[in-house]
Amino acid sequence: MQKILPSALVWLVLFLAPAAALAEPLTGEQVLKQVDRNLEPGNLEMYRKIINIEPDGKRKEYVLWFLRKDKDKVVTLFISPASEAGRATLRLGDNMWLYIPNVGKPIRITSMQSVVGGVFNNADIMRLDYSEEYAVAGMGEADGQILLELKARSGAVAYDRLQMRVDKARLVPVRIDCFAATGMLIKTLHFSDIKDIGGGAVRPAVMETESPLYKGYKSVMVSANLKLRELPDEVFTLNYLPRVKDLR
């Protein structure tokens, strides 16, 4: 009995320790990283439809092919409409470029500009991981959701501060309020239609945005046809941008 007791205690500790670790609540940084993984699970390609809805109800639609590698490399290629087809954008960290086939040379663009008009800017369309651009400044709970207060890691990020509401069970964002350094609300992003959008990624397929700066306007981004895809780093370079459509 004296021999059995210590070994039973060891087994008990070994059995309970992982459970205790599992029960420990996630930190804000862990939640944010999991949100990133759930939204974009690794190196991938997918299609995005951007719908700009004007105050009179008229719509303009753009279809983009989206490529992403690591935490800091994004390429988008305009597939339609015909007037935009062939345009491509590249993001490498804080650097962004736009290639217009007729112009023939990529030009540098900034995150606050918008290549499609509407409420989405370039930073929304070519977004990097939230945890790459923002640090968690605070975490709380509201209406049964996790509330993350995020602060930009550098001045090159489009929004100075984000307030992110996260679905507790699925760890995907439900709503994000984006603020300027002055405290002004720039826009609100709403996430909905959680479903498998391909490649086993179960996440919100629709992101809608509205902004007090664009009263009456709404922009929607629908994500679909996600596939995991490994591409060499050289695809995410300025020299390759005019040829990126050859990879589709």
By C-alpha distance, which of 48, 39, 95 is closest to 67?
48
How far apart are alpha carbons 92 and 69 in whole angstroms? 10
Shortest approach of other proteins to residue 68 CB, angstroms?
15
Among 30, 63, 145, 228, binds other proteins (CB under 8 A): 63
C-beta closer to other proteins: residue 92 or 172? 92
Among 13, 26, 137, 224, binds other proteins (CB under 8 A): 224
Helix (H, G, I), strand (E, B) or coil at 120: coil
Element (H, E) at 84: none
Q: Is the separation of the CB atoms in 69 and 234 below 8 Å?
A: no
Query: Is 60 near other proteins (CB under 8 A)?
Result: yes
Among 34, 37, 92, 194, binds other proteins (CB under 8 A): 92
Query: Is 212 near other proteins (CB under 8 A)?
Result: no
Q: Which residues make beta-bridge pairs with 161?
A: 151, 179
By C-alpha distance, which of 197, 151, 152, 154 is closest to 172?
197
Q: Which residues make beta-bridge pairs with 140?
A: 147
Query: Which residue stretch of 17-25, 45-53, 135-143, 170-178 sits at the interface with other proteins (rule: CB under 8 A)?
Result: 45-53
How far apart are alpha carbons 199 and 42 in whole angstroms? 11
Shortest approach of other proteins to residue 41 CB, angstroms?
19
The residues near 27 (Cβ < 8 Å, ≥ 6 apart) are 136, 139
C-beta closer to other proteins: residue 54 or 177? 54
C-beta closer to other proteins: residue 104 or 144? 104
C-beta closer to other proteins: residue 95 or 163? 95
C-beta closer to other proteins: residue 39 or 109? 109
Residues numbered 95 to 154 that lie near other proteins (CB under 8 A) are 95-96, 100, 102-105, 107-113, 117, 123
How far apart are alpha carbons 163 and 129 in whole angstroms? 15
C-beta closer to other proteins: residue 10 or 184? 184
A 10 A CB-CB count for 104 gives 8
Length of the chain: 248
Which parts of this chain interact with other proteins (CB under 8 A)?
Answer: 47, 49, 51, 54-56, 58, 60-61, 63, 65, 79-83, 85, 92-96, 100, 102-105, 107-113, 117, 123, 155-158, 180, 192-193, 205-206, 213, 220, 222, 224-225, 231-240, 243, 246-248
